[in-house]
Structure 1
């Protein structure tokens, strides 16, 4: 039972009781209402009489109401176990996207927006930003193109790109492939995983089914001794969604055509114009400089890893000619082996100290202390009390989901903040990566009342078993902290309009707040406070640990100093190769969105570009190294790359460029004292609270007291001048 003051939030959580039919009915209702609002404005308001209050605000208020329902309607396709519900969610999103395109190209509404802008009435800063963003979005949506065949073509392209995006992500979510392996082929893979795999029957008798889901894929790539097993798994994983290959190619071709119709030289120029970088050249120069600085380190790391591989193969009596190559499917295996041999980093041992449940609890305590928050898990009768139906199951979409009410602490005024959901385990049809989804944004409604946000963390960690809880490797702890960082950004944002709420910032800034919080996962005191050996969770787990480990005495409850030291010491081991991997994604993204001409993108072999660019940048060999013809068509990694279809197009560089800002913030403000609550609260109110309601650079400058610098970023990577 929650403490009394937390039992009755001022806003009920959303319900998740939709049916396939209700999703479509609700979507049509939302569209009809929104179209009615726009029709009414055009009917009642002339350009001469248009003001922010009568021409802009009604649409903004309707956008707020639309988001409260539309985000959840689209969310079902990422998390529902019901195929029909997922399909209906996909169909509903298509309707919403089509309506968004229609609305964004209404010339009659645009004339009123343009009239309001030209009057230059004095507005509050966030309202002025809304007006300017709205005005520019109409132009970017095609109203800068004269009415006629070209504008019609632009509209058709927008609709097709929406279809491609929805289908591409649906294919990824629905992907249910895998491979059959014998136990011998999985030698070295942790017993916990192997014992949990589905056992084959009939023609697959004696084999085990390994999926491409992260809890299966990554441990096998890290631990399987057989290079053939790792290679087979790697290549098949790159080809798991080949139905997306033509969709990806069509998307980049259509984006280029649309950008040229708008008068831009390419899609990158169109997209980056509104980001912090402003120009593709700024991005290209940044990525090029980073590549130059990282390349020597990458070569040195490969040389050391290749020596380790040669030694390993020699010790195992393997002489198959592969010792002269360092392959893509070698890297996770030998990276792990190097950390174990040279740095005594035993990820399996470390994971014992990070059970998912206690790690989350520890993270939430850190956020409480830093940002002045209180997290209260809603369970049992409290769930029933908050559900309109009296059934607590109605306020979550799956039995595994945890829900928290979030409040300000006493110093922050004890007000309600919003709802946080955690959906942490894989299942069929679920979104396959780790991400934060806004379910309902916050805003101020037309009566001046605050609407509170709801946000969901969706991940794919290993499920608990009777012998072990879900245990997190250190990199998974970092991932969890990162995504929770997006969730906190979403929760504490306090904007007037939902348009600017939370993580609705430019793409080359949005990752910075979460990346900054990753630093807490490399701080000894915080690692210690997050840790809690799983054998202390229950007598059953204690007995299981004793039986599996053969240890007669219990381990320490908190992670020992020597393990913390081994984690910290490995932070930058093979760091150049990690960042070169990110660089490959960023430079591939720019290459397909910055062609010299439209003919160039039409003629581009996207698969060859993806694989060849990866080799050229990272220097890791793929199957092409074994092919005398140098065939680059062995895999289609771009078809599994949801980011470039889901909003990071001509923006993936943001994962690297935002590290400049995140590292600068951490080094300048938090490195000396990561748990400085005064600075944490200042960060909350200066940066996170503002969402996208102000220029992101001005937020950074306010927080840092100066313009951001690249010095800390390059220093952290060990490549400063």
Structure 2
């Protein structure tokens, strides 16, 4: 039972549909919500003349409706990423299309634009967030085509917007629904950890004696890291690059349509259009940053490959494979030899480290860090308590799957004991589920029409290995970092306090949004925090202790991760760092390449798969199947790249540019004392609470006390 003072949140948690027959209700409810929104807008247009137009009678009613709409619309779209019901996922996808189509129509209403323009010309004295809302709204109508004269061109622009929406929804659905994989014999998977292989689907009939390796992270990554056979690693790598080739034409169409739309609006290309309202402002700023970083990293990348090739050569020699060693370092070599180098040169045993990071224990440790740092309290809601917090008392449907954990989040006493919101954790893979790791806002925070606060709800959706009878779910260190990163987005979503849902939490510009979570990753490389997060799984239950003892000659491990393991881990933080960042540069430079063509004809002629693979080879210096004489279009990695369809188009550089800001914040404020609660609370109130309600550069300057600097970023990479 939750402690009494945390047992009665002032806002009920939403309930979720679970049955196929609920699919029709999703569509019905979507149409009801959109009809309500249209009625609000129609009433504004009908009742208000341009001469009487003010913020409170034109924009405020629509903003309040947007707030209310978001409390249901986000969840309606969420089913497509998490529901076990195909019917619900399909209905969610259809509902997303209805909402997108409605949004496009609404954003191109001349009658509303005229009123918003009249408000903008009034220069009313507004609070800063409302002034920003007016500015963004007015500019949004222009960016949505109302600067294009009425007629064929505007009609074409609207048609493009609708087609891009359809493409984006279909692209992500194909990724979520992907069920591909390869059949291998146990011999072929030699070297892959036994617990990974044991969890794979067993073959029957013609596949008798084989196991099915899917492309989900818990099986894909260990195979790439541990499979001794280079041919198996090659097959897995190439097949994973081609797992959703139905997205190939969708990606091409998206790039072409974006370019056409940007030119209709008067921009040179899509990147110029997208980057205009981000921190970077111009494609030149982005390309200069990426180019400079590429130049600085390239020599280090070549040195790292040279060293890794020595490991490959010695590995082949030790296994009697000298005759097949060709002196090349392939894409499917990297995870394997990167891991081997860490083990042999740094005595880093990732499997041994993972024993100290059982998933649930690690989560508890992370939440404790956030409690101390930001003044939060996390109360897990289980059993009878679920009915008490659920809308309508429906505790059975307060989560969408039996594996999902639910927490109510509160301020601690020093922060006033107030309610903060709801946090959901959906951590294990299943068919039809979003395949990566992400944070989804389910309900934003805002101030409602009564002047009361609506509290947020946010969900972490990940794909970690499930527990078995012998072991709980164990996290590799990079998975600990991933979890901390995504939980960082969740905290940003929870503690944000904005007036309008439009600016809530992670609703910032794309080249800033990753910075808060990237900064928090540093806690995963701090000795005291690593130790506090850790607990050897054998201490969790007598059964686990017995199983561990039987497999390890009755030895007893330390309860918390030993200093020697921590030191070996920290010593590897920047090992092969140049290659890792060159990989990120490949994604960023490819993104900018396809979104900055010299002309529309140039993008029409651009061979996109070939460009993706050539750029990867040129930037990362890793060889692919082209080394064997195959054409450059051997793979379609861009078709698996959900980011470039899902909002990071002409924005993937943000993962790297955000590191500039995250490094500056950490080194300036937290490096000396990562658990400084005073600074943690200042960070919460100065950065996280603001969301996108003010210019992100202003947020940084408020926190740092100066303009941000690249010094810490380049120092961290060893490039200063």
TM range (shorter): over 0.9
1:474 maps to which of 472, 477, 480: 477
2:153 maps to which of 145, 150, 158: 150
Partner SS, residue 407 of structure 1: strand
User: Is the Cα contact below 8 Å between 1:325 and 1:621 reproduced in 2?
Assistant: yes
Mapped to 1, the partners of 2:26 and 2:325 lie a distance apart of: 54
User: Is the Cα contact below 8 Å between 1:424 and 1:460 reproduced in 2?
Assistant: yes
Deviation for aligned residue 1:157: 0.1
Paired residue for 2:205?
202
2:286 maps to which of 272, 283, 286: 283
1:458 maps to which of 461, 464, 468: 461
- The yes-or-no answer on 1:693 pairing with 2:693 is yes
2:623 maps to which of 621, 624, 635: 621
User: Is the Cα contact below 8 Å between 1:607 and 1:635 reproduced in 2?
Assistant: yes
Deviation for aligned residue 1:701: 0.3
Partner SS, residue 268 of structure 2: coil
Mapped to 1, the partners of 2:585 and 2:543 lie a distance apart of: 46
Deviation for aligned residue 1:195: 1.1
Paired residue for 1:666?
666
1:365-412: per-residue Cα shift (whole Å, max 9, x none)?
A: 000000000000000111122224444221000000000000000000
1:264 maps to which of 262, 267, 278: 267
- The yes-or-no answer on 1:492 pairing with 2:495 is yes
Mapped to 1, the partners of 2:158 and 2:48 lie a distance apart of: 26
2:544 maps to which of 537, 541, 546: 541
Paired residue for 2:582?
580
1:410-429 matches, within 5 Å, as: 410-429=413-432
1:580-599 matches, within 5 Å, as: 580-599=582-601
Paired residue for 1:345?
348
Mind listing any 5+ residue stretches in structure 1 that lack a counterpart? none
- The yes-or-no answer on 1:93 pairing with 2:96 is yes
User: Is the Cα contact below 8 Å between 2:351 and 2:476 reproduced in 1?
Assistant: yes
Paired residue for 1:603?
605
1:182-237: per-residue Cα shift (whole Å, max 9, x none)?
A: 00100000001111111111000110111000000000000000000000000000
Partner SS, residue 385 of structure 2: helix
Mapped to 2, the partners of 1:248 and 1:48 lie a distance apart of: 46
Mapped to 1, the partners of 2:134 and 2:547 lie a distance apart of: 62
User: Is the Cα contact below 8 Å between 1:393 and 1:399 reproduced in 2?
Assistant: no
Paired residue for 1:102?
105
User: Is the Cα contact below 8 Å between 2:14 and 2:391 reproduced in 1?
Assistant: no
Paired residue for 1:707?
707
Partner SS, residue 209 of structure 1: strand
TM-score, normalised on structure 1? 0.99
Partner SS, residue 643 of structure 2: helix
Deviation for aligned residue 1:626: 1.1
Mapped to 2, the partners of 1:340 and 1:387 lie a distance apart of: 48
2:358 maps to which of 355, 358, 382: 355
Partner SS, residue 669 of structure 2: helix
Paired residue for 1:675?
675
- What RMSD in Å do the two structures reach over aligned CA positions? 0.7
Paired residue for 1:525?
528
Deviation for aligned residue 1:320: 4.5
Mapped to 1, the partners of 2:322 and 2:357 lie a distance apart of: 39
- The yes-or-no answer on 1:182 pairing with 2:177 is no
- The yes-or-no answer on 1:57 pairing with 2:57 is no
- The yes-or-no answer on 1:116 pairing with 2:97 is no
1:509-536: per-residue Cα shift (whole Å, max 9, x none)?
A: 0000000000000000000000000000
Mapped to 2, the partners of 1:553 and 1:314 lie a distance apart of: 34
Mapped to 2, the partners of 1:334 and 1:244 lie a distance apart of: 31
User: Is the Cα contact below 8 Å between 2:356 and 2:561 reproduced in 1?
Assistant: yes
1:560 maps to which of 550, 559, 562: 562
* Count of residues in correspondence between the two structures: 717
1:598-629: per-residue Cα shift (whole Å, max 9, x none)?
A: 000000000000000000000000000011xx
Deviation for aligned residue 1:555: 0.6
Mapped to 2, the partners of 1:107 and 1:580 lie a distance apart of: 46
2:171 maps to which of 165, 168, 177: 168
Mapped to 1, the partners of 2:2 and 2:216 lie a distance apart of: 36
Mapped to 2, the partners of 1:319 and 1:161 lie a distance apart of: 51
Mapped to 2, the partners of 1:43 and 1:391 lie a distance apart of: 41
1:365 maps to which of 368, 372, 377: 368
Mapped to 2, the partners of 1:618 and 1:44 lie a distance apart of: 60
1:541-576: per-residue Cα shift (whole Å, max 9, x none)?
A: 1111112223x2321100000000011000000000
Mapped to 1, the partners of 2:283 and 2:391 lie a distance apart of: 51
Paired residue for 1:570?
572
Mapped to 2, the partners of 1:527 and 1:135 lie a distance apart of: 48
Mapped to 2, the partners of 1:122 and 1:274 lie a distance apart of: 23
Mapped to 2, the partners of 1:584 and 1:549 lie a distance apart of: 43
Paired residue for 1:719?
719
User: Is the Cα contact below 8 Å between 1:354 and 1:534 reproduced in 2?
Assistant: yes
1:42-81 matches, within 5 Å, as: 42-81=45-84
| 1:320/1:40 CA distance change after superposition, 3 Å | farther
Partner SS, residue 687 of structure 1: helix
Deviation for aligned residue 1:317: 0.7
User: Is the Cα contact below 8 Å between 1:309 and 1:323 reproduced in 2?
Assistant: no
Deviation for aligned residue 1:56: 0.5
Paired residue for 1:646?
646
Mind listing any 5+ residue stretches in structure 2 that lack a counterpart? none
Please say which of residues 656-665 and 196-205 is displaced more in the overlay. 196-205
User: Is the Cα contact below 8 Å between 1:242 and 1:636 reproduced in 2?
Assistant: yes
User: Is the Cα contact below 8 Å between 1:313 and 1:323 reproduced in 2?
Assistant: no
Partner SS, residue 471 of structure 2: coil
Paired residue for 1:14?
14
User: Is the Cα contact below 8 Å between 2:15 and 2:394 reproduced in 1?
Assistant: no
Mapped to 1, the partners of 2:35 and 2:702 lie a distance apart of: 42
Mapped to 1, the partners of 2:708 and 2:94 lie a distance apart of: 43
Mapped to 1, the partners of 2:699 and 2:391 lie a distance apart of: 40
- The yes-or-no answer on 1:247 pairing with 2:250 is yes
Deviation for aligned residue 1:17: 2.4
- The yes-or-no answer on 1:214 pairing with 2:206 is no
Mapped to 2, the partners of 1:231 and 1:177 lie a distance apart of: 16
Paired residue for 2:304?
301
